[in-house]
């Protein structure tokens, strides 16, 4: 096993500190920025489309960027003059180019980014970064061209330089794993908020949204592309953010989205079959995750040794490792004891090195959220946060969008929406609600189209085995025939012996499926709508229609006559 650092965080190199200090507030002050000012008509807290670019940065001469890449700018007319071009930004999206940008023209599966170089030039791009295949067409734009063999692999490092190495001024905690990344990131950010000094803000980057302090930005993917990520870090720095919790996907690691980042703490939650349409096998999937735990990507790792892949990672990681176990493994540096599982959350004692004992609360139900909470707590302690401060901040997190999120219309049963969209996650959610449900469990689930088809039978089987009513339906069928997806799920449900499975219903229309589950609910039961979580649209044949499981579930409860009338204030608070 890799030598572990002090599990209390004592050996972490100097970075923005969250521990006690006599130096007063941090050295980054909030800078007003038009992009972060809410409009008068927009409700507070609503995600907004922000132009996430920093302001006031020193332009970087193209010659400096060329030296970073160890190339010389090529130009159809005057290469020497090209070196003096001032650069103020970088993007890989030709539609998002701003004056002063380098446009990264990347090779793709169907198109080459250089196909859109003319558009980028018309919007104000001052140079093009591309590969040898794109050089000639890039030169035709009249812009200077930086040619490298792997532009995608170099643009993260380039973006960090253009934006003034913003990550160096942020305490960065990155979370990876198959399940629990989003929840753990929210919990970590809650602890960071509790530890922040006056004038300091915290940041969050993940599947649901990114946050700069209290300002919210809807996310397009779990981890932004490298160009967008470094710009976001710079925006955070300008606005007084000193620490950030961030989800790191395997796609991000393989495709270079976190190039230019070195995380102060990297967290590993677990690994189970997922994204096997992208990774050829589980070993490849593991290696992608393990890349985060190398000196190029992080300084110290926090690893779950309840997971067999976590045990392997703890032994193979290239950075010092602090281990944790929600199951109480005695060899772990941190472990959970005296666990009490409740219907809305859980409590436990976190036991650490040197007799450290901290009473902690997981603000979401389920044993897996004890693990997520312990992961967040340990990561915060390793980052320099006082253990009790971290625990209190985590406990104060009000919830995580789409993760066992309650929908309460006054009905006499529990109704929740969850993002579970893989077999292990579906099983974990259903087992969790089963423990706190005196009656029956009615669950709705679909599988996404154009994604890993191998998990569909397992998901259908899990639902049929663990729910009293299993309603198989559509998720985001995308370009696939929804009935073909349902057929695979039904085949999995049919593999469960009849005496072990609940009632299985098929309903292609997702709203009708939710209504069918609600119609069977009685006092003391639980209704679970799984698969889409926080998503607010449904992709059918390339058309994205408005669809929010939380709203659809609420409407079904009201339509079934199960809701208790509320005042307008109560209804607003419930939403």
Q: Please tell me whether 206 is known to bind a ligand.
A: no
**Strand bridging mode 171-176 / 265-268:** parallel
Ligand-binding annotation for 535, yes or no, is yes
Which pair of tokens denotes residue 528? 């679970």
Residue 181 is labelled as binding a ligand: yes
Q: How far apart are CA 220 and CA 234, in angstroms?
A: 19
Residue 222 annotated as binding?
A: yes
Burial 470-487 (b: 16+ CB within 10 A, else e): bbbbbbbbbebebeebbe
Whether 451 has a binding-site annotation, put simply, is: yes
In this structure, what token pair is assigned to residue 455? Answer: 């998990």
Residues 6+ apart with CB under 8 A from 305: 311, 314, 323, 324, 325, 329, 331, 332
67: its two tokens: 């030296």
Q: Do 87 and 100 form a contact (C-beta atoms < 8 A)?
A: yes
Report in angstroms the alpha-carbon separations of 139 from 66, 78, 82, 184, 562. 16, 11, 12, 46, 66
Task: Report d(CA 30, CA 257) in Å as an integer.
Answer: 27
Q: 257: annotated binding-site residue?
A: yes
Q: Between helices 367-382 and 387-395, what is the axis angle to 10°? A: 140
| Residue 178 assigned ligand-binding role | yes
For 114-141, letters b (16+ CB in 10 Å) and e give bebbbebbebebbbbbbbeebbebbbeb
Binding residue per annotation — 183? yes
d(Cα 439, Cα 569) in Å, to the nearest integer? 31
Tokens standing for 242? 């000193």
State yes or no: 11 annotated in a binding site: no
Instruction: Specify the residue for token string 């049963």.
Output: 413
Q: Pull the structure tokens for residue 495.
A: 């593999």
Whole-number Å distance between alpha carbons of 338 and 328: 9
Q: Is 500 annotated as a binding residue?
A: no
Q: How many CB atoms lie within 10 A of CB 277?
A: 12
Q: Helix, strand or coil for residue 524?
A: coil
476 annotated as belonging to a binding site for a ligand: yes
Rounded alpha-carbon distances, angstroms, from residue 411 to 238, 474, 517, 555: 46, 25, 14, 12
Who's near 101: CB < 8 A, 6+ residues apart? 87, 88, 89, 90, 91, 120, 124, 125, 126
C-beta of residue 147 within 8 angstroms of C-beta of residue 219: no
Q: For residues 181 and 274, what is the distance between their CA atoms, to the nearest angstrom?
A: 14
Residue 478 among known ligand-binding residues:
yes
Is 211 marked within a binding site? Answer: no
Are the C-beta atoms of residues 201 and 64 closer than 8 Å to each other? no
Asked whether residue 289 is marked as a ligand-binding residue, the answer is no
Annotated ligand binding at 156? The verdict is no
| Binding-site sequence positions for ATP | 177-183
| Binding-site sequence positions for meso-2,6-diaminopimelate | 451, 475-478, 531, 535
| Binding-site sequence positions | 94, 177-183, 222-223, 249, 257, 451, 475-478, 531, 535
């Amino acid at each position: 096993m890799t030598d572990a650092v002090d599990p209390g965080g004592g050996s972490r190199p100097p970075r923005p500190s969250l521990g006690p200090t006599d130096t007063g507030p941090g050295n980054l002050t909030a800078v007003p920025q038009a992009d972060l000012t809410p409009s008068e008509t927009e409700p507070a807290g609503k995600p907004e489309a922000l132009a996430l670019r920093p302001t006031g940065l020193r332009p970087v001469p193209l010659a400096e960027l060329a030296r970073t890449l160890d190339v010389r700018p090529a130009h159809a007319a005057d290469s020497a003059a090209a070196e003096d071009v001032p650069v103020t930004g970088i993007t890989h999206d030709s539609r998002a180019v701003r004056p002063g940008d380098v446009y990264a023209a990347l090779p793709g599966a169907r198109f080459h980014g250089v196909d859109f170089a003319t558009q980028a030039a018309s919007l104000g791009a001052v140079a093009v970064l591309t590969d040898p295949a794109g050089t000639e067409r890039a030169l035709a734009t009249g812009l200077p061209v930086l040619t490298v063999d792997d532009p995608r692999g170099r643009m993260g490092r380039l973006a960090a330089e253009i934006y003034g190495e913003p990550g160096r001024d942020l305490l960065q905690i990155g979370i990876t794993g198959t399940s629990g990344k989003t929840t753990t990131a929210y919990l970590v950010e809650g602890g960071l908020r509790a530890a922040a000094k006056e004038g300091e803000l915290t940041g969050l980057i993940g599947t649901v949204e990114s946050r700069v302090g209290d300002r919210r930005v809807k996310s397009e993917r779990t981890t932004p592309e490298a160009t967008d990520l470094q710009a976001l870090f710079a925006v955070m720095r300008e606005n007084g953010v000193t620490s950030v919790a961030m989800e790191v996907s395997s796609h991000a690691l393989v495709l270079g989205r976190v190039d230019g980042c070195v995380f102060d703490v990297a967290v590993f939650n677990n690994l189970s079959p997922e994204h096997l349409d992208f990774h050829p096998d589980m070993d490849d999937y593991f290696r992608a995750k393990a890349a985060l735990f190398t000196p190029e990507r992080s300084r110290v790792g926090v690893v779950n040794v309840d997971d067999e892949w976590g045990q392997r990672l703890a032994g193979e990681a290239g950075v010092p490792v602090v281990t944790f176990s929600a199951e109480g493994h005695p060899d772990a540096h941190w472990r959970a004891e005296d666990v009490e599982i409740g219907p809305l959350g859980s409590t436990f004692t976190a036991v650490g090195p040197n007799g450290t004992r901290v009473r902690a609360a997981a603000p979401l139900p389920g044993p897996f959220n004890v693990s997520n909470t312990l992961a967040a707590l340990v990561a915060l302690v390793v980052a320099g946060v006082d253990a009790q401060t971290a625990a209190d901040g985590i406990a104060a997190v009000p919830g995580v969008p789409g993760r066992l999120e309650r929908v309460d219309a006054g009905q006499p049963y529990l109704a929740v929406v969850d993002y579970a969209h893989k077999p292990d996650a579906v099983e974990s959610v259903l087992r969790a609600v089963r423990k706190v449900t005196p009656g029956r469990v009615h669950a709705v689930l679909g599988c996404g189209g154009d994604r890993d088809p191998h998990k569909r039978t397992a998901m259908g089987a899990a639902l049929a085995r663990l729910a009293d009513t299993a309603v198989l339906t559509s998720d985001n069928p995308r370009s696939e025939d929804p009935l073909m997806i349902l057929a695979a799920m039904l085949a999995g449900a049919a593999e469960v012996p009849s005496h072990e499975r609940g009632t299985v219903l098929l309903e292609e229309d997702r709203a009708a499926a939710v209504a069918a589950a609600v119609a069977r609910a009685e006092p003391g039961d639980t209704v679970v709508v799984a698969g889409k979580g926080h998503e607010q649209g449904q992709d059918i044949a390339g058309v994205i229609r408005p669809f929010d499981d939380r709203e659809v579930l609420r409407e079904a409860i009201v339509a079934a006559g199960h809701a208790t009338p509320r005042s307008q204030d109560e209804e607003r608070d419930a939403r």
